[in-house]
């Protein structure tokens, strides 16, 4: 029997995908709720778990030439995927090679950030203690310059290899344009540019037990503060605004001095804690976490996020910027 033809209404590029990606590795209509930590999101028309970086580097130029809409994801821990999903190819980055060393540690961008920390720590390399408990991949961390406890990935980067404008090339760290929870890759959503691998400068010669002990202290702090329900971490970015910080009674002195206002502080003061839209809620434990209380949809999260933004803007005159990225066909 000949294979079922695609419906005539399907765009031409859709037919190209199984010619570029081995059919045995492709899934069709894969529910994205399975691949995002918010547990929401409709189907990806095609879904490819990419397991080695060379295949990924070979496939991307061909997808580009065929004009295939693609979205590369890591662990989906910073994503709000639309209920209608993504009418293209979702590539899940599962490339996992790490080479810990001096002067640089090499990592594929599909490596889990926590696993990179553990592999480095085993070799006595420090610098990523704060990364334990950030649930994404190294690639996702690069895109948003992930960080915690005053550490960020940006300053550790020495080189990235990226697929950009149709070709694969190496770039220096300045090319990434790192800012607070931001890089050049966030300026085009979904990003067509894909970061394939990275060299990081970690500090060698450390004691494995001491490195682990430092990470465990951060992890304990994190557990005490963060809700257990499914979330995408902090939903909104903190606000850098000295005048606003100075005007807020109740904001701790060190934050006033630094001119930093946590989004969670604004959400709490605006009375958003405990708010609900359908199955999405503002966590009782941390007002910057929007959580899935069981049966939320992406639309519930969108409504809740917009309601919080409107309330905070009305109260403090600040439009909160979202740290979580809305992707898919909204
Ligand atoms: C409980 C919890 C706690 C968190 N705590 C923190 C925290 O302390 N600090 C912090 O910074 N973040 C935190 N986050 C947010 C999130 O984990 C990070 O942003 C993480 O780095 C995202 O990685 P990911 O692989 O899941 O990316 P995804 O969510 O899969 O993707 C995010 C974006 O990056 C793009 N992308 C992913 N990989 C690549 C690549 N290789 N090339 C190009 N684009 C790519 C995607 O297209 C998407 O636009 C937390 C999240 C949760 C759920």
Domain ranges of the chain: 12-93, 100-209, 227-327
Q: How far is the CA of 197 from the centre of ligand 1 (A)?
A: 16
Say whether 192 is catalytic: no
Name 70's Cβ contacts closer than 8 Å, sequence gap at least 6.
Answer: 60, 63, 88, 89, 90, 91, 190, 192
Contact by Cβ (8 Å): 128, 117? yes
Among the listed residues 112, 234, 269, 302, the single catalytic one is 234
- Identify which of 34, 78, 222, 285 to mutate to test ligand 1's pocket (most ligand atoms within 8 A of the CB): 78
In the CATH scheme, what is the code of domain 12-93?
A: 3.30.43.10
Give 140 Cα–ligand 1 centroid separation in angstroms.
4
Distance of CA 119 from the midpoint of ligand 1 (Å) = 20
Q: Which pLDDT value is given to residue 8?
A: 55
Around Cβ 110, how many Cβ atoms within 10 Å? 28
C-alpha–C-alpha distance, residues 277 and 214, integer Å: 38
First CA to last CA across the chain, in angstroms?
37
Task: Specify the pLDDT at position 7.
Answer: 53
Structure tokens at 164: 């950009």
CATH number of 227-327: 3.90.78.10
Q: How far, in Å, CA of 317 to CA of 320, rounded?
A: 10
CATH 3.40.50.720 fits 100-209, yes or no: no
List CB contacts of 304: < 8 A, sequence separation 6 or more. Answer: 275, 276, 277, 280, 281, 282, 290
> What is the 2 CA–ligand 1 centroid distance (Å)?
41
Contact residues for 145 (Cβ-Cβ < 8 A; gap 6+): 152, 153, 154, 176, 178, 179, 180, 181, 182, 183
What was the pLDDT predicted at 1? 47
Look at ligand 1, atom 44, and give the residue with the nearest C-alpha: 194
Give the pocket of ligand 1 (CB within 6 Å): 37, 71-79, 93, 109, 134-137, 139-141, 143-144, 146-148, 185, 190-191, 194-195, 226, 231-233, 325, 327
One digit per residue, pLDDT tens: the chain, 330 residues? 444 444 556 788 888 899 999 999 999 999 999 999 999 999 999 999 999 999 999 999 999 999 999 999 999 999 999 999 999 999 999 999 999 999 999 999 999 999 999 999 999 999 999 999 999 999 999 999 999 998 999 999 999 999 999 999 999 999 999 999 999 999 887 778 999 999 999 999 899 999 999 999 999 999 999 999 999 999 999 999 999 999 999 999 999 999 999 999 999 999 999 999 999 999 999 999 999 999 999 999 999 999 999 999 999 999 999 999 999 999
Distance between CA atoms of residues 110 and 96, nearest Å? 5
Distance between Cα 135 and ligand 1 center (Å): 7
Backbone angles phi, psi at 251, to 5 degrees: -80, 130
Q: What is the pTM for the complete model shown?
A: 0.94
**How many angstroms does the Cα of residue 78 sit away from the middle of ligand 1?**
4
Measured CA to CA, the distance from residue 196 to residue 108 in angstroms comes to: 6
321 is catalytic: no
Counting Cα atoms < 13 Å in the Cβ hemisphere of 46 gives: 25
Reading the block at residue 293, the tokens are: 């209380």
Which residue CA neighbors atom 41 of ligand 1 most closely? 139
User: What is the predicted pLDDT for the residue at 191?
Assistant: 77
Query: Do the beta carbons of residue 304 and residue 231 sit within 8 Å?
Result: no
Q: Residue 9: its pLDDT value, please? A: 65
Cα–Cα distance list, 30 to 7, 34, 42, 71, 130 (Å) = 19, 8, 8, 14, 33
Instruction: Tell which one of 92, 134, 176, 322 to mutate to probe ligand 1, the residue whose CB is within 8 A of the most ligand atoms.
Output: 134
Q: Which atom of ligand 1 is nearest to the CA of 146?
A: 11
- How far apart, in whole angstroms, are the C-alpha atoms of residue 148 and residue 80? 21
234 counts as catalytic: yes
The burial class, CB within 10 Å (0-12 / 13-18 / 19+), for 56 is buried
Which protein residue's CA is at the shortest distance from atom 33 of ligand 1? 140
Rounded-to-10 torsion of CA 231, 87, 42, 18 = -100
């Amino acid at each position: 029997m000949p294979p079922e033809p695609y419906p005539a209404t399907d765009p031409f590029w859709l037919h190209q995908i199984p010619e570029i990606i081995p059919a045995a590795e492709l899934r069709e209509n894969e529910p994205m709720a399975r691949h995002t930590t918010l547990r929401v999101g409709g189907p990806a028309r095609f879904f490819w778990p990419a397991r080695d970086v060379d295949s990924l580097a070979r496939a991307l130029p061909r997808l580009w030439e065929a004009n295939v809409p693609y979205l590369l994801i890591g662990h989906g821990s910073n994503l709000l995927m639309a209920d209608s999903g993504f009418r293209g190819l979702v590539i899940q980055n599962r490339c996992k090679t790490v080479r810990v060393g001096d002067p640089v540690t090499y990592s594929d961008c599909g490596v889990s950030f926590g696993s990179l920390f553990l592999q480095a720590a085993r070799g006595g390399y420090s610098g990523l203690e704060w990364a334990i408990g950030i649930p994404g991949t190294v690639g996702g961390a690069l895109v948003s310059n992930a960080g915690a406890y005053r550490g960020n990935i940006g300053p550790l980067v020495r080189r990235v290899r990226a697929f950009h404008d149709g070709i694969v090339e190496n770039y220096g760290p300045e090319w990434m344009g790192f800012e607070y929870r931001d890089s050049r890759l966030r300026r085009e959503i979904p990003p067509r540019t894909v970061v394939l691998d990275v060299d990081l400068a970690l500090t060698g010669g450390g004691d494995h037990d001491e490195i682990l002990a430092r990470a465990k202290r951060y992890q304990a702090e994190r557990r005490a503060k963060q809700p257990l329900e499914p979330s995408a971490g902090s939903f909104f970015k903190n606000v850098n605004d000295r005048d606003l910080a100075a005007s807020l009674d109740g904001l701790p002195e060190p934050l006033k001095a630094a001119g930093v206002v946590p989004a969670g502080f604004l959400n709490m003061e605006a009375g958003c804690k405990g708010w609900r839209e359908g199955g999405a809620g503002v966590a009782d434990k941390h007002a910057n976490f929007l959580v899935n209380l069981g049966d939320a949809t992406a639309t519930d999260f969108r409504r809740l996020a917009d309601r919080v933004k409107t309330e905070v803007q009305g109260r403090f005159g600040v439009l909160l910027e979202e740290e979580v990225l809305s992707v898919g066909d909204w």
